[in-house]
């Protein structure tokens, strides 16, 4: 993963780049520096706004070519609506909108005058950093395999933005605020890269190697191979991988940033099915190519752990990912087979396409046995049923603890990675009972996302706060937004980083 866009901060006195974006609020309200630019360009902004009937409404814009008295070739005025009411997420999205305007024009460099009417001091510096984050997230493009657009000498795009200068009153403070954003953005982009990568180049071994490489950022990474998992009795996870020629891996990433190493860690578990054919219960051919993204939960956990390490989070955290491939073959698990999980509970596999919960069953049990966490959150592209219920706006949250659920919901609203709490109850749990084993891996046609969560819940120890996030609708082929326009969104990295930051750093509990 390489960061293509260089973002720097400067004062408003610096010479602007050829393409420059300025901001205007409702009724064409402008900051002091923008008004000065308007005056310097012989009222180009005012005159063009009048001609275009532009009043600064949110997401509206005008473009002024070669304004008089200015050094810019293009001056883009972006409407922000009621600037006084803009919160953190609004500012991040505003930066994404500005980047969208910049990317629509050719040029290798651009300036964003991050000035909002009536905003100054530390708040202005933070606002500039927030806008820069939005711009950084928006510029992401997965073009690794587009050879026609590459420069043969350096492998970069022949055309495209490589430098963004963000002008603000206190560039040093803005840079300080942006350092944390940059770390989190690295995690988001890593998650996007992993989900976008085709399965022929990202198998379980390659995924594990990628995670192992994050040790350079300070993570402690250990990997269990199939022999080690077999020794620990992980029959559920291995039942998924046994049809593939590519062996499974369990990857553990640890970050010890709390003051005391004895502080119980927060624990995150990700489903990492690098490709899901459905196994013997094979999926329909139409759309099966999207199943390269069935490891988005693992990608989120990996990106999160990188973000925590990069920003030196004051928390002890463990990220675990079960990385497998689900393929049909002579050695594949058959419908009707009964397997024994690491917990000792037996599972009747009635549908081999309900495989993610088998992976998670063993990984969450291992996490509890080895790390005695204070809480555990698992993430998985588990069911299509959650998309039927929530579409592509929210991920489904299933949680046995009201405090943790409220913290996740609050973090979702703050970051835009939104979750909606779904029910758990004994009535649904009964649907997982089997006549031939302790449980079966499907619960019937109705409430599929709920029964999937209930299944995982059977492997959570009593009293341990646990959350299950079904992100099937938001992590891949996701809804386009101001900060994400590609197939993979990197959903969840910012959500979980915010959860940790707001609730679990700098404590000795």
Could you give the dihedral angle defined by the CA atoms of residues 311, 312, 316 and 321, in that order, rounded to the nearest 10 degrees?
50
Structure tokens at 243: 């049809």
Strand partners for 276 = 326
Between CA 104 and CA 84 the distance in angstroms is: 28
Which of 367, 412, 373 minimizes the C-alpha distance to 393?
A: 412
The Cβ-side half-sphere exposure at 294, using a 13 Å CA radius, reads 29
Grouping H, G, I as helix, E, B as strand and the rest as coil, residue 68 is coil
Structure tokens at 187: 């995690």
DSSP state of 488: B
Judging by DSSP bridges, how do beta strands 220-224 and 249-256 pair with one another?
A: antiparallel
Other beta carbons less than 10 A from residue 213's beta carbon:
13
Other beta carbons less than 10 A from residue 428's beta carbon:
19
CB distance 189 to 1 below 8 Å: yes
Exposure string for 104-127, b = 16+ CB within 10 A, e = fewer: eeebeebbbbbbbbebeeeebbbb
Dihedral sign for Cα atoms in the order 493, 494, 499, 503: positive
* Phi/psi-derived region of residue 336, left when phi > 0, alpha when psi is between -120 and 50, beta in every other case: left
CB distance 421 to 397 below 8 Å: yes
Structure tokens at 460: 């959570």
CB distance 1 to 190 below 8 Å: yes
Active site residues: 283, 357
50: Cβ–Cβ under 8 A, 6 or more apart, which residues?
none
Strand partners for 22 = 77
Strand partners for 334 = none
The position carrying tokens 């993430």 is 379
The H or E element spanning position 194 is: helix 171-196
Which of 268, 270, 235, 244 minimizes the C-alpha distance to 254?
A: 268
Provide the H-helix boundaries in 41-87: 44-52
Between CA 415 and CA 434 the distance in angstroms is: 40
Structure tokens at 107: 């040029």
């Amino acid at each position: 993963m390489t960061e293509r866009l260089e973002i720097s901060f400067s004062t408003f006195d610096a010479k602007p780049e050829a393409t420059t974006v300025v901001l205007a609020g409702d009724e064409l309200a402008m900051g002091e520096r923008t008004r000065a630019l308007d005056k310097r360009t012989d009222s180009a902004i005012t005159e063009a706004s009048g001609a275009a009937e532009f009043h600064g409404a949110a997401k509206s814009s005008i473009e002024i070519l070669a304004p008089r008295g200015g050094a810019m070739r293009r001056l883009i005025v972006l409407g922000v609506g009621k600037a006084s009411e803009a919160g953190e997420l609004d500012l991040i999205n505003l930066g994404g909108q500005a980047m969208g305007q910049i990317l629509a024009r050719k040029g290798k460099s651009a300036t964003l005058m991050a000035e909002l009417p009536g905003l100054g001091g530390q708040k202005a510096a933070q606002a500039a950093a927030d806008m820069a984050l939005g711009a950084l997230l928006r510029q992401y493009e997965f073009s690794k395999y587009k050879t026609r657009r590459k420069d043969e000498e350096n492998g970069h795009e022949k055309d495209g933005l490589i430098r963004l200068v963000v002008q603000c009153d206190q560039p040093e403070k803005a840079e300080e605020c942006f350092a944390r954003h940059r770390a989190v953005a690295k995690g988001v982009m890593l998650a996007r890269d992993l989900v976008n990568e085709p399965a022929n180049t990202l198998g379980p071994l390659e995924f594990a190697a990628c995670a192992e490489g994050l040790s350079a950022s300070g993570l402690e990474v250990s990997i269990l191979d199939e022999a080690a998992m077999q020794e620990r009795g992980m029959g559920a996870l291995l039942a998924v991988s046994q049809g593939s020629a590519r062996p499974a891996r369990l990857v553990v990433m640890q970050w010890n940033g709390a003051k005391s190493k004895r502080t119980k860690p927060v624990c995150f578990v990700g489903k990492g099915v690098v490709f899901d054919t459905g196994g013997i219960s094979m999926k329909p051919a139409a759309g099966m190519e999207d199943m390269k993204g069935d490891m988005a939960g693992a990608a989120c956990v990996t990106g999160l752990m990188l973000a925590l390490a990069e920003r030196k989070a004051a928390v002890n955290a463990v990220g675990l990912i079960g990385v497998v491939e689900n393929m049909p073959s002579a050695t594949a698990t058959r419908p009707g087979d009964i397997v024994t999980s690491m917990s000792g509970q037996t599972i009747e596999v009635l549908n081999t396409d309900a495989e993610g919960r088998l992976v998670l069953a063993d990984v969450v049990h291992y996490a509890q046995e080895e790390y005695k966490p204070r809480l555990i959150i698992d993430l998985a592209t588990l069911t299509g049923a959650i998309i039927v219920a929530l579409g592509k706006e929210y991920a489904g949250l299933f949680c046995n603890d009201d405090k943790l659920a409220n913290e996740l919901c609050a973090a979702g609203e703050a970051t835009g990675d939104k979750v909606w709490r779904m029910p758990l109850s004994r009535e649904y749990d009964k649907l997982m009972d089997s006549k031939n084993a302790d449980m079966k891996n499907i619960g019937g046609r109705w409430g599929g996302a709920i029964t999937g969560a209930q299944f995982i819940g059977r492997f959570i120890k009593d009293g341990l706060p646990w959350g299950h996030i079904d992100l099937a609708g938001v992590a891949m082929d996701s809804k386009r937004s101001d900060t994400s326009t590609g197939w993979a969104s990197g959903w969840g990295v910012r959500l979980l980083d915010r959860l940790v930051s707001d609730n679990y750093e700098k404590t000795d509990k």
